[in-house]
Amino acid sequence: MIELPRTQAIERIILVNLKEGVSEEQFNMTALHGREMLGAIPGVEVLSLGIALNIDASHKYYVRLRFENREALEVYNTHPNHAAYGLQEWLPIIADEILNDYSIAY
């Protein structure tokens, strides 16, 4: 594994599908609250949400979080806002997700 500088920005990309019966309105409210709670965590620079243009895409939603650096990602992963939001609001509505963290090269 290549060791990257700890000062480089990190992006977390999450592809998700909702559980059966979760409405678009419910998801939008959950996402907006997440933007508020997660965006308040130090080192979170960007939090965005996208919807697949292709109706046959494997995952309908895309979430992107950008962190100032690796330390900010570590703070985020252990922050009470992240834990509370994930367990109480996010996981109950998500059927499946693919999550990867990336060091931004340029």
Q: How confident is the model at residue 6 (pLDDT cuts 50, 70, 90)?
A: low
Judged against a pLDDT cut of 80, whether residue 5 lies above it is answered with: no
Q: Tell how strand 44-51 and strand 61-67 pair up.
A: antiparallel
The tens digit of pLDDT for each residue in 36-45 reads 999 999 999 9
Q: Is residue 91 part of a domain?
A: yes
Which of 61, 72, 68 is closest to 99 using CA atoms? 61
Q: Is residue 5 part of a domain?
A: no
CATH number of the domain that residue 67 is part of: 3.30.70.100
Q: Is residue 1 part of a domain?
A: no
Number of structural domains (the chain) is 1
Contact yes or no for 93/27 (Cβ under 8 A): yes
Q: Is residue 21 part of a domain?
A: yes
Q: Is residue 2 part of a domain?
A: no
Q: Which domain holds residue 77?
A: 10-103
pLDDT at 3: 61
pLDDT at 52: 97
62/94 Cα distance (integer angstroms): 12
Phi, psi of 35 (to 5 degrees): -60, -40
CB atoms within 10 A of CB 95: 12
Question: Coil, helix or strand for 21?
Answer: coil
The encoded tokens of residue 75 equal 């703070």
Q: Which amino acid is at 99?
A: L
The tens digit of pLDDT for each residue in 13-46 reads 999 999 999 998 999 999 999 999 999 999 999 9
Helix, strand, coil fractions of the chain, as percent rounded to 5: 35, 30, 30
Q: Is residue 74 part of a domain?
A: yes
Q: Is residue 14 part of a domain?
A: yes
pLDDT at 105: 85
Q: Is residue 3 part of a domain?
A: no
The tens digit of pLDDT for each residue in 48-82 reads 999 999 999 999 999 999 999 999 999 999 999 99
